[in-house]
Amino acid sequence: MIVQDQSTILAFLTDPASYGDQPLHISTTQTHISVIIFVGTRVFKLKRAVRLPYVDFSTPEHRLAACYRELELNRRTAPMLYLAVRRITCEADGELMFDGPGELLDAVVEMVRFDEDTLFDRLAVGGQLTPTLMTELARTIAHFHADAVIDHHRSGAANIAAVLTMNEVSLAASGLLAADTVAALTTGLWRAFDSCATLLNERGMAGKVRRCHGDLHLRNICLIEGVPTLFDCIEFDDEVATIDVLYDLAFLLMDLWYRGLEPSANLVFNRYMDECDETQGLVLLPFFMTIRATIRAHIAAEQAMECDGSRHRELAREATDYAALALRLLAPVTPRLVAIGGLSGTGKSTVAAAIAHAIGPAPGARVLASDRIRKRIHGVVAETRLTEQAYRPEVSEQVYAALAQDAQAVLHCKHAVVADGVFDRLAEQDRIEHVARSADVPFTGLWLYADPQQMITRVNERHDDPSDATVAVVRAQLARNISVPDWIKIEASGPPSTTVSRAMKAL
C-alpha cells in the first residue's frame, strides 16, 4: 500500500537541472518497491513509500536507513557498482537538493550504470546463458555463500515458517488468484514444512543459515568485465535475507525453471554442489523452489492490482503461471538412479547434462561424474589436467568407490542421481546397480557406443574439459577386452541431439 506522495521527489530526480548544467538523458523504471532513475552514467534508486506485509518504507527515515543498508550489503558482491547514499533535503527557500542541511525528504542509492544487455534475464532471452557462464555463476554464488555471515540465533524452521505465514497473508490479500489455488498452495506448503522442520533446524544449527542475497533471480545478476556479478540484494529486512543458503540458491533455480531453462537450472545446481556439498539439504530444494514461485505469484498479483489494460493482463497471467509452477513443484516425484557408461568420446557427459533435469525431483538429478570426482580427490578444479599417475588402477578404484558412496548419500536424501563414468569393469557395474537396490529406487543403465573414429575426433576437439582422455587412451580402451554391461545400448555416433533423444526415450 502506498502511504506517501513522492511526486515532488520524482520531479526533482527527473529534472536535468538537479544534476548541474550538462544536458542529460533521463529515464525511469519501476518495481513493486523501487523507482530506478537512469541519469547519464549514473543510476539513482528510490524506495517507494509503501507499507506491505514484508517491507515498511513508510517514512523518509525508514527509506534512508534502507539505503545505507543496501549500500553496505551490496558492496559484498558488487563494490564497483554501489557508490553512495544521497539524502534529498528541502532547504529554507523550499528548493530540493542533494545532501543539504535542510529537512530530510527522501534518500536514494547512487550507482554506476552498467550495460543492461548484460543482465542475465536478457542474456536468457537471447540464448546466451552458456554452460561456461553458468558454471562461473554457480561458483560465484558458492563462494559468496561460503563467506556470508552465519546467523547462530535464528531457527531454520522458524525462519521458513515466517516466510510461509507472510505468503499466506499476501496470497489472501492479492485478490487475484483463485481461492482454490490459494488454498492448495497454502495447505501444500505447510504440509511440506511439517515434513522438513527437523532438517531445517539441523541445518540452522550446522551454520547453513547465513546473511545471503535474498533476491537471487536473473535480473539481479549482470556481467561486469565479463564476470557474473550479484547485485540488488534484499536490504530492507535482515530476516528475509538471513536464510538457508539453499533457499537463496532456489530463487535462481526457480527463475530458470519458470523460463523453460531447466537444463541451465540443473547445471547451476550441479556446479554449486561441486563447490560446496549440500547433499544433506537436497530434499529441501523442491520445497524451497515452490516457496520462491509462490512469492513471485503474489508479488505479480499485487502489481497487477495497481495496473489496468494490457499491463494488468500481463501481470495477472504471470501471477497465474507462477502459482501453477508452484503447484507442479509441490507434486511428489520418485527419485531414481541412471548410470551412463561407455568408452571415452561416446558423449556420456553431454547426455548426462542434457537429461538430468528431467530425472527425479526439481531441479533434476545430481550428476556424479567420475572425471569430476577424480579431480576432487586430487584437490584441483575440474578443468585441471592430471598426470597418468592419477589414472592408476588403485586410484580409479578409489574414484568409483567414491562415486557409489556419493550416489548412495544423494538417494538417501530422496534425490535422483545420474552416474557418469566409463563403467567398463564388471565390479564397477555391479557396485552402482547395488546402490540402487539398497536404496530401493529404480535403476536404468545406458551404454553408449560409437564409431571409433568419431570417438577419437571428439576427444581431439575437447578443451577446458573435466576429462583428461587422449587419443591414446581411446585406442587403449578399444584394444582392451572390456566388460560391456547388460544395459540399454544406445548408438552415439550421430549428433548429440539424436543420442539425447534416444536416451530420453529409453528412460
At 155 the pLDDT is 80
Closest listed residue to residue 66, CA positions, set 241, 326, 318: 241
Q: Rounded mean pLDDT of the chain? A: 94
Closest listed residue to residue 140, CA positions, set 230, 262, 254, 266: 230
Quote the CA–CA distance of 195 and 201 in Å, as a whole number.
12
For residue 35, the surrounding DSSP H or E stretch is strand 34-39
Give the three-state DSSP class for 242: strand
For residue 221, the surrounding DSSP H or E stretch is strand 221-224
Q: Which fold has domain 7-113?
A: Phosphorylase Kinase; domain 1 (3.30.200)
Q: How far is CA 305 from the centre of its chain?
A: 29
- The dihedral formed by the CA atoms of 448, 453, 457 and 460, expressed in degrees to the nearest 10: 100
Judge whether residue 272 has pLDDT over 90. yes
Judge whether residue 22 has pLDDT over 90. no
Quote the CA–CA distance of 360 and 265 in Å, as a whole number.
14
Closest listed residue to residue 96, CA positions, set 5, 12, 35: 12
For residue 55, the surrounding DSSP H or E stretch is strand 55-56
Each residue of 386-423: pLDDT tens digit?
998 889 989 999 999 999 999 999 999 999 999 999 99
At 380 the pLDDT is 94
| DSSP secondary structure letters along 446-500 | EEEE--HHHHHHHHHT--S-S----HHHHHHHHHS-----SSEEEE-SS-HHHHH
Among 21-25, 119-123, 383-387, name the most confident range: 119-123
pLDDT band at 302 (very low <50, low <70, confident <90, very high): confident
Quote the CA–CA distance of 85 and 77 in Å, as a whole number.
17
Contact status, residue 337 vs residue 436, Cβ threshold 8 Å: yes
Among 11-25, 81-95, 234-248, name the most confident range: 81-95
* 453, burial (CB in 10 Å: exposed 0-12, middle 13-18, buried 19+): exposed
Each residue of 60-115: pLDDT tens digit?
999 999 999 999 999 999 999 999 999 999 999 999 999 999 999 999 999 999 99
Quote the CA–CA distance of 152 and 164 in Å, as a whole number.
21
Each residue of 189-235: pLDDT tens digit?
999 999 999 999 999 999 999 999 999 999 999 999 999 999 999 99
Beta bridge partners, 85, equal 109
Show the CA angle centred on residue 323, arms to residues 318 and 326, nearest 5°.
130
- The dihedral formed by the CA atoms of 425, 431, 435 and 441, expressed in degrees to the nearest 10: 50
Quote the CA–CA distance of 147 and 240 in Å, as a whole number.
18
- Cα-based distances in Å from 266 to 252, 272, 341, 360: 11, 10, 20, 11
Judge whether residue 154 has pLDDT over 90. no
Find the distance separating the first CA and the last CA of the chain, reported in whole Å.
50
Could you give the residue ranges of the DSSP H alpha helices within 75-130? 120-125
Quote the CA–CA distance of 20 and 287 in Å, as a whole number.
51
At 7 the pLDDT is 94
At 481 the pLDDT is 82
Each residue of 327-376: pLDDT tens digit?
999 999 999 999 999 999 999 999 999 999 999 999 999 999 999 999 99
Could you give the residue ranges of the DSSP H alpha helices within 175-308? 179-205, 238-241, 245-258, 262-275, 285-305
| Of residues 32 and 411, more confidently modeled | 411
Quote the CA–CA distance of 412 and 199 in Å, as a whole number.
14
Closest listed residue to residue 246, CA positions, set 360, 153, 141: 141
Q: How many C-alpha atoms does 473 have within 13 Å on its Cβ side?
A: 17
At 482 the pLDDT is 87
Judge whether residue 50 has pLDDT over 90. yes
> What is the rounded average pLDDT of the residues 127-132?
96
pLDDT band at 435 (very low <50, low <70, confident <90, very high): very high
Each residue of 158-185: pLDDT tens digit?
999 999 998 998 888 878 899 999 999 9
- pTM score, whole prediction: 0.92
Among residues of the chain, what percentage have pLDDT more than 90?
A: 84
Please identify which residue in the block is written with the cell numbers 556424479: 368
Residues contacting 494, CB < 8 A, separation 6+: none
Beta bridge partners, 443, equal 337
Contact status, residue 341 vs residue 429, Cβ threshold 8 Å: yes
Among residues of the chain, what percentage have pLDDT more than 70?
A: 100
CATH of domain 120-330: 3.90.1200.10
Judge whether residue 289 has pLDDT over 90. yes
Give the three-state DSSP class for 406: helix
At 175 the pLDDT is 81
Residues contacting 454, CB < 8 A, separation 6+: 345, 493
Q: List the single range of 66-80, 252-266, 294-308 with lowest mean pLDDT.
A: 294-308
> What is the rounded average pLDDT of the residues 129-147?
97
Quote the CA–CA distance of 31 and 312 in Å, as a whole number.
14
Quote the CA–CA distance of 196 and 490 in Å, as a whole number.
39
CATH of domain 337-506: 3.40.50.300
> What is the rounded average pLDDT of the residues 443-464?
93
At 487 the pLDDT is 97
At 211 the pLDDT is 96
Domain ranges of the chain: 7-113, 120-330, 337-506
Show the CA angle centred on residue 217, arms to residues 211 and 221, nearest 5°.
90
